[in-house]
Amino acid sequence: MNVYRCRICGDPYLGSARPSHCPFCGAHAKHIVPAADYQPVPVGDLSKKSRENLERALELEVGNSTFYRGAAQVADDEEGLALFSALAKVEAEHASILCKILGIPKPEELFEPGECSPSHKENLAESHKREGRAVKLYSRFLDEAIEERVKLVLGAFIEIESDHLGMSE
């Protein structure tokens, strides 16, 4: 059994091999390292622009997490329930990461179900729109970031949200 840590969320993982994606935040394998090699990337002082962008990203992640929790409750099959439940957890983990960077507590509504359509098909379409918005927004935020930790996290989020786009097609 080996111990790994994700460079994005910092969470440890036990397994016989490094996973293809972090089971907590969805980061790609390149961000998962043996625990002995883990070195956290310090945040340091955030620029005003990065703080504003990360606060906006936090709003998006909280909104997505609550939307997915609601969508899980109205999913019309076990696969839909599993998909939306997993997406809700990943988006909540992203919100957690952003809160750590911003030095603020997690929003209370993070784990509540949010508004969604009663139609599973419509929720899948909305999911696709939400993930596309996230990729576009995070790409802009990445271009504007100057802090190494912020760039690392936003780059990983873009990869993860792009993966999610394929799940909602």
Where in the chain do CATH 2.20.28 domains reside?
A: 2-37
Q: Give DSSP secondary structure letters for 2-13.
A: EEEEETTT--EE
Where in the chain do CATH 1.20.1260.10 domains reside?
A: 48-167
48-167: CATH architecture: Up-down Bundle (1.20)
Could you please state the CATH topology (level 3) that the domain comprising 2-37 is classified under.
Answer: Rubrerythrin, domain 2 (2.20.28)
Dihedral angle, C-alpha 124, 129, 135, 136, nearest 10 °: 170
pLDDT per position as a tens digit, 3-26:
999 999 999 999 999 999 999 999
Identify the band that residue 77 occupies on the pLDDT scale cut at 50, 70 and 90: very high
Q: Are 31 and 22 in contact (CB under 8 A)?
A: yes
pLDDT per position as a tens digit, 129-153:
999 999 999 999 999 999 999 999 9
Identify the band that residue 168 occupies on the pLDDT scale cut at 50, 70 and 90: low
Residue 41: pLDDT over 90: no
